[in-house]
Amino acid sequence: LTSGNIASGKTTFLEYFSKTSNIEVLTEPVSKWRDVQGHNPLSLMYQDPERWGMTLQTYVQLTMLDRHLTPMVSSASVRMMERSIFSAKYIFVENLSRSGKMPAVDYAILSEWFDWITTNISIPVDLIVYLQTSPQTCHDRLKQRCREEEKVIPLKYLDSIHQLHEDWLIKQTSFPLPAPVLVIPADHDRQEMQNQYEENRDKIIAACFT
């Protein structure tokens, strides 16, 4: 799994590894979150998280579980995923709750549903690659890529998402880890990040076979 803040470089990371023939890459199903029978719950959540946070995160949990359970293509021996059902719950649901934008009953229902899934369904993970990026860098990148839903995301929101990642993956004080963590500093430009991926490539792939 790759994890990190919004605009931390996850897509670039996965693009690099997708060029290897035996690696299957699964990106976040963002297109589904943008279009549910003509509705855009992702955009609605950013505009009014108190009203739409539960709606979006219920669907995120479903679609991420579907990603985890999709059989790997026969030609691949390694699968890499952008985020996971774990980061959806431990980062984004948690942020909505802590910021007071998700009612306690919504949080309780999502948590109970998540606990049932992870208790009753096997979701094996070999490694979490954490692209550790400063909130300011992420904010600058958001401005450059100009995605419609992201225009309303303030730096404060990225600060909160960053801290939740740090608590979970670095300090390891908030939630259990489903796998070991490899940290890659990701504040660099595209070329330097390519070098970082090259340096860590064998280590990342080897972790999938241990």
Give the number of other Cβ atoms within 10 Å of residue 66's Cβ. Answer: 12
The confidence score (pLDDT) of residue 148 equals: 73
Counting beta carbons within 10 angstroms of the beta carbon of residue 118, is it exposed (0 to 12), middle (13 to 18) or buried (19 or more)? middle
Judged by DSSP in three states, 6 sits in coil
Catalytic positions, written as ranges: 82
Within 13 A of 93's CA, how many CA atoms are on the CB side? 27
Q: Is 101 annotated as a binding residue?
A: no
Residue 210: pLDDT over 70: no
The span from the CA of 133 to the CA of 63, in Å, is 26
The confidence score (pLDDT) of residue 8 equals: 95
Q: Is 4 annotated as a binding residue?
A: yes
Q: Where residue 150 falls among pLDDT bands split at 50, 70, 90?
A: confident
As a whole-number percent, the residues of the chain with pLDDT over 90 amount to: 80
Q: Is 32 annotated as a binding residue?
A: no
- End-to-end Cα separation, the chain, in angstroms: 15
DSSP-assigned letter for residue 150:
G
Residue holding tokens 């359970």? 69
Write out the CATH class of domain 2-207: alpha beta
